Structure 1
């Protein structure tokens, strides 16, 4: 096999790990909380060098990690998601798939083979574990062994070509809410919406179109409604065919919030409109009657430098600085606008909540913070994505107070998850858990903070004897959920 190119994206802490690990006991520093379950996370870890010599960080094979908490011990298991792409390249012994989300750059021999890398999120629903990439169907994994079971269309009921990497789970109903954009292929303006019940069965499907084809990465679900932000990270088949980035920022377009009742039909979709601005990941959404509150980090302009401006304009780092914002719209209004209120001055992205309160009114929110005022050692690895995460933050929605923990000048952080202290704990009573990148030793550590006192720093640090490449998203699954039987879905 050829070597990876000596570029920042493939060297230093960003070098592909390419190892599947089994470590039965990890070294624990501090006091491990009395919690049992599994922390799953996933990220891009290329199995082969890029076909075209370079790519963006997010185009790598999905490497799933499972940290299993059991009887005061923590074990680690990692496995590649053996997608159709992975297996085709492994059989050939060299890369076959080209640029991120661009099938026009692939080797002709793989036409018709799913391009999924299953590298964006790992999601558990009623006994089943799904590795997800939003341009494809989910890849089911065994929740205990992490062996790949295969792609799933939920018994053939998901007819969209793609399925979101950010489904929502409503603890009150046991439903998984999902959708697929580019539902009829790359660049299409078709969206398919799905409700999947607690038995893994698709019980609702409807289709609609959006004002322009774009990157619909995340969305919000309330008790009664579903809300999609339509933001102009736009798709261009012309650019794709020319070998240019498929997605680009278009500052000339307005943004929309598309609202649908949870069991609504496409004809019921309503669009709310606002001037150009940026949002991506959603902290939570909830409604009070006809009023919908939608919480997301918002920036004046593009916050993701890896998706270039379609005019060639340079990235505006100040304009791309996102802050947690509440968009509030009223379905009883006639003007189709919404109000905006900043919830915290912390700059950041990748928000998380106590997932037991997803789709409902909540108090506690958490996020990855990018604070340029904090010191950074010059030897510390730089962020390939442009999102240098050096703190985790907590926002108390009731008091408006924000707190943050700075990880230090020689480390950076990945996205955390919230872990309840126990099944009956009040909202926010628990722990914040996630990976820290330790550049001095080129290793990783799993750090655990008291979620109500994040500013006090880790109560436990779990050391990993190697580095785990920066991942994207993950979730915590308590032990009692892991033991649930699987639904009979293919």
Structure 2
């Protein structure tokens, strides 16, 4: 990654590692910007807000720095009546407030400690995902922590939401799923002690209405889940803490290719013993696209993390673990099928050609059969996305793609925004940030979802770089409690 370090000053020095220098370097200001330069035209029938979460450390780190460290900052683009307002705000977590009071970083990072350490406390930074629920945005963290409720328009932090949590671990997974038809939010938690996992449901009023323990064979480090109309799909991955490192108070992962990846299908409000486990070929899985039911089968489409191979074709466990830890992604669009009647399983690669990850889709289809997803082409060397791609999740076909230059561009996670009176699943727009490192230009780009290959219909230029981050979402006006009338 050294080729990118010189592009932007390293605000805290190079001794903290490359994941906080160059284009990864944080920005120091919060802004509200409107009347920005626009090339093309912002659509009149585009209404709602695009939110993207990511790490943006405010103070110099203690020790080395990892992508998953750094105070959470949300960047937003609010569209209405052919205009856009950009905002960025730090999430005022408990850790952010402690740092603010001290005037320095008082926490240790992922590479220096473990989640529950008392000697070297780790900050629950809520910097990983953001999703709309119960009228507000919910920000979450990679290692499962307290969710934070954020106003999606002003980006002010409303409050922490411990009432979403219960049970052994008292954390909420980085990735949760919201069924927009019922308003239910499904989540899981994972922890090093038995039973190692729990599963919960929060209703549309923000009340925890279901929570059960899920027993796993051991410590696991899963990341995402799936939901359908009637079921949730929990993951048991062959990735876990290195025992010696854990005893020494360090976060280090192991990948064990002798273990399958397992998916547990549980009724949405099912008891612990109602879960059914299905085994598939050994791999890791960061992100699910969508899941649904077809007759007796539960179908899940995801980005399968392809294990690294040795020269003899066997899995290189050590290199795979390192790739997972440093987000050097090599992923393929994959389909998993689980027959609840017969117990039969089937998996197949939908598209072997493209290394794609960080999927977005029409979120109103969460849990039901969907055809399209919008993903980013991944630079396998680092956390950098080089282009936008529309893929058919039924056939695996790459239907369209776009890049302003794969050697120079840094894209964000794309999300689909339906037109105000959408007539089809892909009748709308795709929103994405793009930093062009060749001409040092930051844009917010709007694409016609049915015509990605023609390029952006609107390019909104921002005066400052948006650092690389993690996940995004789209919230429609009907999902926003504070949407201005």
TM-score between the two structures when normalised by the length of structure 2: 0.86
Q: Which shifted more, 207-216 or 186-195? A: 186-195
**Of the candidates 470, 475, 478, which is equivalent to residue 477 of structure 1?**
475
Aligned to 2:260: 254
- Distance in 2 between the 1:141 and 1:89 partners? 20
Deviations 1:28-79 (A, max 9, x none): 1112112121111110001112201x12122111011121112222111111
Deviation at 1:302, TM superposition (A): 6.0
- Listed as ranges, the matches of 1:69-468 within 5 Å are 69-100=79-110, 103-104=113-114, 115-134=123-142, 135-154=144-163, 160-182=169-191, 186=192, 189-236=195-242, 238-301=244-307, 311=318, 321-334=330-343, 337-343=345-351, 345-370=353-378, 386-397=382-393, 400-402=396-398, 403-408=400-405, 409-468=407-466
- Distance in 1 between the 2:119 and 2:248 partners? 20
Say which SS state the counterpart of residue 154 (structure 1) adopts. helix
Deviations 1:396-439 (A, max 9, x none): 24565312112313212111111011254311111111111221
How many aligned positions are there?
459
- Distance in 1 between the 2:92 and 2:323 partners? 38
Judge conservation of contact 2:167–2:213 (CA < 8 Å) in 1: no
Question: Where do 4+ consecutive residues of structure 1 move more than 6 Å?
Answer: none
Deviations 1:431-454 (A, max 9, x none): 111111221343421111111221
Say which SS state the counterpart of residue 47 (structure 1) adopts. coil
Judge conservation of contact 1:259–1:269 (CA < 8 Å) in 2: yes
Deviation at 1:176, TM superposition (A): 1.5
Say which SS state the counterpart of residue 294 (structure 1) adopts. strand
Deviations 1:165-184 (A, max 9, x none): 221121222222222222xx
Q: 1:320 to 1:441 in 2, by over 3 A?
A: closer
Say which SS state the counterpart of residue 455 (structure 1) adopts. helix
Q: Which shifted more, 127-136 or 186-195? A: 186-195
Say which SS state the counterpart of residue 356 (structure 1) adopts. helix
- Distance in 2 between the 1:105 and 1:285 partners? 30
TM-score between the two structures when normalised by the length of structure 1: 0.86
- Distance in 2 between the 1:288 and 1:314 partners? 34
- Distance in 1 between the 2:111 and 2:145 partners? 10
Question: Gaps spanning 5+ residues in structure 2: where?
Answer: 1-9, 310-315
Aligned to 2:77: 67
Judge conservation of contact 1:97–1:105 (CA < 8 Å) in 2: no
Question: Gaps spanning 5+ residues in structure 1: where?
Answer: 304-308, 373-382, 486-490
Aligned to 2:47: 36
Say which SS state the counterpart of residue 458 (structure 1) adopts. coil
